[in-house]
Structures are given as C-alpha cells and as structure tokens.
Amino acid sequence: MAGADWAAIDRALREARKRLGLPPTSIVESCYEAGHRALVTRGIRNRVVDSSSIEVNRRARRTKTDQIDAIKLVQMLVRVCYGERRVWHEVRVPTPAAEAARHVSRERTALTQEQTRLTNQMRGWLATWGCALPRRRADAWWMTVRDWSGASLPATVQARLARAQARMVLLADQIAALTAQQQQDVAAAAPASALQRLVQLKGIATTSASVLLDEGLMWREFQNRRQLGGLLGFAPAKYESGESTRDQGISRAGNTRLQSMMVQLAWSWVHWQPHSALTQWYHARFGQGKRTRKIGIVALARKLLIALWRWATDGVMPTGAVLNRV
C-alpha cells in the first residue's frame, strides 16, 4: 500500500481480523519507524524500533530484501509480545510539543556549524595568497587585505569574499534571533522548572541547557542512570573471548549532539566549578598529562550528565557546585 494511505491500512486490518476470525476490537501490535502517531490514534500498539538493534545474519554476504526484513521484524515482534526481553531496542517517541521544540536548538547548532565552515573556507582562500583572515572585519574588509607581495587581492577573489561575508552576516543575524528566542524561553520558564534549574548552575548557559532538554533529558523519562548513560554512550567497549581480552576504547554509540555538548560542558564545568566534587575527582584521577586529561574529560562528561539529570528532575544539586549570582 502507498504511504499515508490510511484507508488501505484500515481495510487491511479489517480483512486480517475477518480472515483470522477475530473480533473487530482485537488488539493490533505493530513495529514501524514512521507514522507512529497516526497508527496509535487508530488503536494500534506500535513500537518504534532502533534499526541498529535488529538481529542480522553475520555471513560474509547476506541477502537483504523488503520481504526478508518484514518477516524478520514480525518474528521478533512475536517474541516481544510473548514477553521475551532484550530482543531489540525501542525508541521513545517524543510528544509533538517536545519534537517541535527541538528545532530551535538543532537549527542553531546547524547555523553555528555553517558559520564555522564558512570562516574556515575564507581563511583557506586567503592562505593561498599568503595572507590571513583579519580578526576584526569592518565593511569591505577584503579590499584592504594584501597578499604576500603587498598587492591587493584579485577582483574575483574579492568578489567571492564579499559574497561569503554577506552569508556570514545573514548567519549571524539568524543565530542571534534563535539565541534571543532561547533566552525568552528561559525568562518565561517557571522558577522550579528544569530549564531554570540548569541555567542557575554556574557554567551552564542557555544554549547548552536547551540542548540537554531538547535531546530528552526530561521527556524521555529515564528510570535510572544506566538508561541515561545508554543515551549518551561513551561506555568502554571490551572484547573478551576465551583467554583473549582487550580494551577496544570508548564506544561511539549514542546521541552525537548530546555527546559533543557534554564534552563542552565538562570542560566548562572544570573551569567554572573548581571546588565541586566532580572537578576534584577529575583532577585527582586524570590531572597528570595532556592526553590523560582528554581521556578523563569523557568520563567526567558521563558523570556530569547524571548529576545534571538529578538536579533537573529531583533538585539534587551536584556536590560542591555553586549557583550563578542573581
């Protein structure tokens, strides 16, 4: 059936119930990655499955077709319905409000990355002419730049820099607008809300708090710190088989936006919260050597996320942390 053809779905369910001799009110179980809310509104118990957790044949070359995948999913769905655990990993679907709110922080992240990419491009263009990108760029700054011999840049290069600068101005305006919107959300939030609690901590800014909440710090409704750690990743990946054992480093599985934000927050926490228990633990455990500090900051990021989750949900402040001055 075609996508979004809800009449065909209802007709298929009626025919299936009739063929199997089931009443019209019988429960329907399904697993699908799209159209979840529409299926739920029709009384279907739909499960959104993480595709990377589905079992596959580990032969060197495996056959893959839509029919084989559908049969495999149905077989696994039957096992789940009969109560078997850890068959696959299911995705927690956000509410429409939570999903809509994520667009602000995600758009700001995308615009910031585009701004960085464009800046690096202009720096590279100028490097080919033996000059550097000025730190302070006033109007028509590209006309004042001189190459290695002291001559002005060619007209085509200046025109390209002018167009790039115009895009930079547009990006800066859009980023400023999104930042202002996030600040308005903080001002409108209740004093006891998770957003207000996070921004009260010294070293946690509006943007970082918004990313944490938008990526599911609250709406995913974690039951324990292990579930939260599963979202972040950064877990050790061991390989043990018989007498062979080795450490494969840190697993890259997890939410990439949350990972990058937590690494940044971990460095910020060390700087702005020097007397907290987490910072003291970090210095005592990983304070020797530049490489050791880089490895330890990942461990600190994992511990810090758990501490921030407890502070946002239950109001348990991280030990030794201080709040911003009002």
Helix (H) or strand (E) holding 93: none
CB 278 within 8 A of CB 300: yes
CA distance 296 to 238: 18
- For residue 285, which amino acid is it? R
pLDDT value, residue 60: 65
CA distance 77 to 84: 10
Q: Spell out the residues 6+ positions from residue 318 whose beta carbon is closer than 8 angstroms to its own.
A: 201, 273, 276, 277, 278, 304, 307, 308, 310, 311
Widest pairwise Cα distance in the chain? 88
Backbone CA torsion sign across 69, 70, 73, 75: negative
Q: Spell out the residues 6+ positions from residue 261 whose beta carbon is closer than 8 angstroms to its own.
A: 208, 211, 212, 215
- The conformation of residue 2, written as its DSSP 8-state character, comes to -
Matching residue, tokens 């077709």? 65
Low-confidence ranges of the chain (pLDDT < 70): 60, 326
pTM for the predicted model, two decimal places: 0.83
pLDDT value, residue 326: 57
Token pair listed for 106: 């995600």
Nearest to 317 by CA among 325, 326, 307, 302: 307
CA distance 6 to 27: 18
Question: For residue 151, is it left (φ>0), alpha (ψ between -120 and 50) or beta?
Answer: beta
pLDDT value, residue 254: 85
Token pair listed for 265: 């927050």
Token pair listed for 27: 């429960």
pLDDT tens, residue by residue, 216-260: 999 988 989 988 988 898 887 888 888 888 888 777 788 899 999
Exposure of 80 by Cβ count < 10 A (0-12 exposed, 13-18 middle, 19+ buried)? Answer: middle
